[in-house]
Amino acid sequence: MRDLAIELFDRPGALAEMGAALGRAGVSLEGGSAFATAAGGLAHFLVADVDRARRALADVGITIVADREVIAVRLNQEAPGQLGRVTRRMAEAAVNIEVLYSDHAHRLILVVAHSDAARMVADAWGRSPRDE
């Protein structure tokens, strides 16, 4: 899975056009978010078939500004404070979290600087009890 950062116009229908283009190409979105900024619209979406997504978006003139690896972390939804604990561990490993959202499988998706360190934290998190 990869995170695609997608530049969108901040206008009605821009997100619909992106979704339609990906749908026509058979690309499923596994998670993501979209929001307006001062410069326009920006979306981050998790996709499995990056090449197909890239072609579909290019065909309709939508710009991908970044294609990045993700770190997926499973949180125990029944235990309050999970987000704080896992992000504290990332911070202690000097990992800067640049984007955070959840996927359709209820995992926390992180786009980070220093993905090797983040992967080590995520692996250790997955092996430890998460209800502490």
> What does the pLDDT read at residue 33?
94
Fold of 71-127: Alpha-Beta Plaits (3.30.70)
Buried/exposed 113-122: b ≥16 CB within 10 Å, e otherwise = eebebbeebb
Domain ranges of the chain: 2-69, 71-127
Instruction: Give the orientation angle of helix 14-24 with respect to helix 50-59, to 10 degrees.
Output: 130
pLDDT digits (tens, 9 = 90+) for 69-124: 999 999 998 899 999 999 999 999 999 999 999 999 999 999 998 899 999 999 99
- At 129, the pLDDT band (50, 70, 90 cuts) reads low
C-beta atoms surrounding 107 within 10 Å: 20
* pLDDT tens figures, 9-23: 888 999 999 999 999
3-class SS of residue 75: coil
Q: 114's torsion region: left (phi>0), alpha (psi -120 to 50) or beta?
A: left
pLDDT at 128: 79
* The pLDDT value given to residue 127: 87
**Phi, psi at 126, each rounded to 5°:** -65, -25
More confident: 53 or 131: 53
Query: Can you give the pTM of this predicted structure?
Result: 0.89
- Which CATH number applies to 2-69? 3.30.70.260
For the chain, the straight-line distance linking the first and the last C-alpha, in angstroms and rounded, comes to 29
- What secondary structure letter does DSSP report for 9? -
